[in-house]
A and B are shown apart, each in its own frame.
Chain A
Amino acid sequence: QVQLQQWGAGLLKPSETLSLTCAVYGGSFSGYYWSWIRRPPGKGLEWIGEINHSGSTNYNPSLKSRVTISVDTSKNQFSLKLSSVTAADTAVYYCARGRRTIFGVVITQPLDYWGQGTLVTVSS
Chain B
Amino acid sequence: EIVLTQSPGTLSLSPGERATLSCRASQSVSSSYLAWYQQKPGQAPRLLIYGASSRATGIPDRFSGSGSGTDFTLTISRLEPEDFAVYYCQQYGSSPPPFTFGPGTKVDIK
Which residues of A are at the interface with B, using a C-beta cutoff of 8 A?
35, 37, 43-47, 49-50, 58-62, 94, 96, 98-99, 108-112, 114-117
Contacts and interface: CB of A to CB of B under 8 A. Distances in A.
Closest 3 CB pairs of A and B: A114-B44, A110-B35, A45-B101
A98 B104 CA distance: 20
A106 to B, nearest CB: 9
Given A44-B104, A109-B92, A112-B56, A58 B44 contact: no
How many B residues are at the interface, by size bracket? Answer: 20 to 34
Contacts of A108: 31, 33, 92-93
A47 B101 contact: yes
Contacts of B44: 94, 96, 114-117
Identify the interface centre among A43, A44, A61, A117: most chain B CB within 10 Å of its CB.
A44
A45 B45 contact: yes
B92 A98 contact: yes
Given A43-B103, A61-B1, 8 more contacts: A44-B102, A45-B39, A62-B98, A108-B93, A112-B50, A114-B44, A114-B46, A117-B43
Identify the interface centre among B46, B50, B102: most chain A CB within 10 Å of its CB.
B50
B88 interface: yes
B34 to A, nearest CB: 9
